[in-house]
Amino acid sequence: MLVGAQIAVGAAAIFARLGLSGAPPLAVSAWRLVIASAVLLAIAGLTPRLRSRPLADARGRSIPHDDKRRARVVLIAAGVALAVHFGSWIWSLEYTSVAVSTLLVATVPIWTAIYDSVVLKRHLSSIGYAAFLAGAAGLTLVVGFNRARAPIAGHEYLGDALAVAGAIAIGAYFLLVREVRQDFGTRSIVTRTYSWGALVLLAGSLAVHQYPPAFTDRKAWGGILAMALISQLLGHTGMNASLRWFTPSAVAMTTLLEPVIAAVLALMLFGETLTPPAVVGGVLVLLAIGAFLREEQRLSGAADG
């Protein structure tokens, strides 16, 4: 289940590239979330117990009024962050390769570790600082030697910047969700945040006149549906379900497979290759991400203790 989930998530960029063949990036991002949130809302609507139950925490206890209002605001903010993540990341695929975009958007642990260190004053160990330097060196190699073929050539740095923006945005999403994780179950969180994210992206795409693909465009709609149903619902749901058998840190470590899976699929399907320096940089970035995931595990363990 866990391996299948990682393959489904790793293929998201491939599906996005198919969707981009018939529609602009904000429209592709919006309809990915519209479809995913519609499925979740339908499931909630068909479950009377959940539909009629007042807002409560994960243990079923009623949440005070002020906490309800704050929790709703936090989840709306998380939905906006999710919209920024999908919009910027899928847009990056117009300007840079699948492998580089997926690698850069996977740098989330680096940015969340920086946030925890600067804002929450959770000091990094010597391994954390070494990982930061290795990650910086790896990003320099990847960005500086990124010359792979992309749909719109000549704007690789813009694509890289959009992918990094997507990583920071999803990092903000995780930080916001972390604040209400004790109050809501996973399905409740994703239903609310996916729905708000879909509304934000729909409004944004309409504002800039980016419309969905024609109904007859099977290739584009196939990519959008695959992102929503396979990568979004099955992939992420499978990762959450695998927590029954694996620790959160083990599941987090397997996310390092996503850029590798995306790179292999992009090579097979689109002929996208990476320069040797970019490959070395990618390895450094993956090692840095792994080190930061271990650092997060250490800090969480220290906090629990």
User: Mean of the pLDDT values across residues 70-93?
Assistant: 93
For residue 56, what are the β-bridge partners?
Answer: 62
What's residue 34's pLDDT?
95
pLDDT tens-digit series, residues 24-38: 999 999 999 999 999
Measured CA to CA, the distance from residue 193 to residue 180 in angstroms comes to 12
Is residue 236 over pLDDT 90?
A: no
Q: What is the pTM of this model?
A: 0.84
Helices (H), 146-235: 156-180, 186-207, 218-226
pLDDT tens-digit series, residues 174-211: 888 888 877 777 788 888 999 999 999 999 999 999 99
Distance of CA 33 to the CA centre of its chain: 12
Task: Please state, in angstroms and as integers, the Cα–Cα distance from residue 104 to each residue in 56, 65, 66, 116, following that order.
Answer: 37, 40, 38, 20
Asked if 127 and 176 count as a contact pair (C-beta separation under 8 A), the reply is no
Measured CA to CA, the distance from residue 32 to residue 213 in angstroms comes to 12
What's the number of CA atoms in the CB half-sphere (13 Å) around residue 53? 17
Mean of the per-residue pLDDT values of the chain: 83
